[in-house]
């Protein structure tokens, strides 16, 4: 869409407000709402000034002025507000120079796409994330000096088979690790997921399916692939719609990777492909009908996996999912179809659909930084012809201990991931896609979370140590 198209849409839809939205370093969508008569072609060109010091991980108060530049292509009508509101996703620039702000995640995604083109390797990168989530009926938690606790509950949860309800207990529930694909009444989420998907469709998102996932109370909707930056926008809308449709049903949705103990965690498998001159770069005559470039791309992902964890698995909770035994892809290996390694090559008949799937990311990730980092690792693999080694076509979950010892793993904690990012980030700096200042600021922001987590007593510690 052009700027004039946006203004025409506002007039045709009788828009009352314009919501300009941007993403902070942690990946949370932020917004400010303007009266429609404040938005004209000059506004769309010149942008909106705001205080960057109020966003964690951005500017200090003595140099806090920043500017939001709306992207006309991102325009959509918000499906939840009572007043007709047009939404626009923005990039952040320096107000005095107009240059992109180096810590803006969306700007990083745009630079990653530009770097791909300048490299000569390809001219388009497509991403297809599969972000899972949990839905609960009741969520309670406390973090005070003398009380650290949480409780989640849902009427369709596996642990409620013997709960006494006033209306009775029907008993139809998926068991632990038993939620994949049973129909209703075991699957309680059909209508809720359908409304989420229909809402996405109404605002112009490309979606295709929905289903219950493996864990109790776990779900997934299908996003169709798109270009890197656009898919970052789509995933932000995906989260926004899921949260708000659940809220409208009196329920609570979360993209937290591991909200419950003893069942599968929530992942975000990311499908990736590169095209050049209208042709799929990853299709070829090597292993699993991949090209040599695709194998090198995989080599880059596997080599830099621990660094990538800082962006693809950026929460302390991420590493409660990345453990053996719950379908978590912790081993740095690749294979065709096999879902037990951290990189998979999905089966497809068409060369146009040939792609690589990274299985270790989770939806607590900032989508722009996650996708950009994955692309940069893969491009480093192609540039330096990094050999991924032999494919592992056996079930890695069942390997004996002596065989497992020879297979490297992803990180086991956020601290390990941040240490890896400190030690191995030169590939991210290529083309100024990421900057040293941005990486340092990101590490500082994540260290705040890590230190709070490490300094806080955990309820399970009372069970283990209180009477020692």
Concatenated DSSP letters of 209-220 = EEEE-SSTTEEE
Asked, for residue 151, whether it belongs to a domain, the answer is yes
Same domain, 182 and 307: yes
Flag whether 140 is marked binding.
no
Same domain for 174 and 88: no
Boundary (domain end) residue, out of 68, 101, 134:
101
Check 71, 130, 233, 362 and give the catalytic one: 130
**Is 83 marked as a binding-site residue?**
no
| Same domain for 136 and 93 | no
Q: Do the Cβ atoms of 226 and 185 come closer than 8 Å?
A: no
- Provide the pLDDT for residue 63: 67
Q: Tell me, what's the pLDDT at 178?
A: 85
Domain limit, last residue, from 101, 135, 160: 101
Residue 380 lies in a domain: yes
Same domain, 88 and 146: no
The torsion angles phi and psi of 168, rounded to 5 degrees, stand at 95, 165
Is 42 inside any structural domain?
A: yes
Is 206 in the same domain as 348?
yes
Residue 108 falls within a domain, yes or no? no
Asked about 247 being catalytic, the answer comes back as no
Range of the domain at 286: 124-465
The answer to whether position 117 is within a domain reads no
* Total domains, the chain: 2
Which residues are CB-contacts of 33 (< 8 A; sequence separation ≥ 6)? 17, 18, 19, 20, 85
**439, part of any domain:** yes
Verify that 311 and 391 share a domain, yes or no: yes
Same domain for 292 and 361, yes or no, is yes
Check if the beta carbon of residue 347 is closer than 8 Å to that of residue 292: no
User: What is the per-residue pLDDT across 118-148, written as a single tens digit (0 to 9) for each?
Assistant: 999 999 999 999 999 999 999 999 999 999 9
Does 448 qualify as catalytic in the annotation?
A: no
Q: Are residues 147 and 88 in the same domain?
A: no
CATH (domain of 22): 3.10.20.70
* Catalytic residue (choose from 132, 156, 230, 362): 132
Give CA separation, 411 vs 156, 191, 256, 305, 329, in Å. 33, 38, 18, 8, 11
Which residues have a Cβ under 8 Å from the Cβ of 188 and sit 6 or more positions away? Answer: 155, 156
Q: What is the pLDDT of residues 334-383, one digit of tens each?
A: 999 777 789 999 999 899 999 999 999 999 999 999 999 999 999 999 99
Active site residue 13: no
220 is in an annotated binding site: yes
Distance CA 306, CA 289 (A): 27
Q: Is 349 annotated as a binding residue?
A: no
415 is in an annotated binding site: no
Task: Report whether 62 belongs to an annotated binding site.
Answer: no
Rounded distance between C-alpha atoms, residue 218 and residue 191, angstroms:
14
Q: What are phi and psi of 286, to 5 degrees?
A: -90, -160
Q: Which of 263, 357, 362, 380 is catalytic?
A: 357
- The residue from 94, 339, 440, 449 that is catalytic is 339
- Does 327 score more than 70 pLDDT? no
- Span 87-116, pLDDT tens digits: 999 999 999 898 999 999 999 999 999 999
Read off the CATH number of the domain in which 323 is found. Answer: 3.30.590.10
């Amino acid at each position: 869409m052009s700027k004039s198209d946006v203004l025409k849409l506002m007039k045709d839809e009788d828009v009352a407000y314009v919501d300009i939205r941007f993403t902070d370093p942690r990946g949370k969508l932020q917004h400010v709402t303007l009266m429609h008569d404040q938005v004209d072609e000059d506004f769309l060109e010149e942008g909106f000034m705001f205080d960057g010091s109020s966003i964690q991980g951005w500017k200090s108060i003595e140099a806090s002025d920043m500017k939001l530049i709306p992207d006309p292509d991102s325009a959509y009508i918000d499906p939840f507000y009572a007043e007709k509101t047009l939404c626009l996703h923005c990039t952040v620039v320096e107000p005095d120079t107009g240059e992109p702000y180096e810590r803006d995640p969306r700007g990083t995604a745009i630079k990653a796409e530009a770097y791909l083109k300048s490299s000569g390797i390809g001219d388009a990168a497509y991403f297809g994330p599969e972000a899972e989530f949990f839905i609960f009926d009741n969520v309670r938690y406390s973090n005070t000096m003398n009380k650290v606790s949480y409780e989640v509950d849902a009427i369709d949860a596996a642990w409620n088979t013997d709960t006494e309800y006033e209306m009775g207990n029907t008993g139809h529930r998926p068991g632990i690790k038993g939620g994949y694909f049973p129909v209703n009444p075991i699957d309680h989420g059909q209508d809720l997921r359908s409304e989420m998907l229909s809402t996405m469709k109404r605002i112009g998102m490309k979606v295709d399916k929905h289903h219950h996932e493996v864990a109790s109370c776990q779900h997934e909707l299908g996003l169709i692939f798109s270009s890197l930056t656009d898919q970052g926008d789509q995933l932000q809308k995906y989260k926004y719609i899921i949260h708000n449709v659940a809220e409208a049903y009196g329920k609570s949705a979360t993209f937290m990777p591991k909200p419950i103990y003893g069942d599968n965690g929530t992942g975000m498998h990311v499908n990736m492909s590169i095209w050049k001159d209208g042709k799929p770069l990853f299709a070829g005559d090597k292993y699993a009908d991949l090209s040599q470039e695709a194998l090198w791309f995989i080599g880059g992902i596997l080599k830099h996996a621990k660094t990538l964890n800082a962006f693809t698995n950026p929460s302390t909770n991420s590493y409660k999912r990345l453990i053996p035994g719950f379908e978590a892809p912790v081993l740095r290996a690749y294979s065709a179809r096999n879902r037990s390694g951290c990189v998979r090559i999905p089966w497809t008949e068409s060369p146009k659909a040939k792609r690589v799937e990274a299985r270790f990311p989770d939806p607590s990730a900032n989508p722009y930084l996650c996708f950009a980092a994955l692309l940069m690792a893969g491009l480093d693999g192609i540039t330096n012809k990094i050999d991924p080694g032999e494919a592992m076509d056996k079930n890695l979950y069942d390997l004996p201990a002596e065989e497992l010892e020879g297979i490297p793993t992803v990180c086991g904690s956020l601290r390990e991931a941040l240490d890896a990012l400190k030690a191995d980030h030169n590939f991210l700096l290529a083309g100024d896609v990421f900057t040293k200042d941005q990486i340092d600021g990101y590490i500082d922001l994540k260290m705040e979370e890590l230190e709070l987590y490490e300094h806080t007593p955990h309820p399970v510690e009372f069970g283990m140590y209180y009477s020692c």
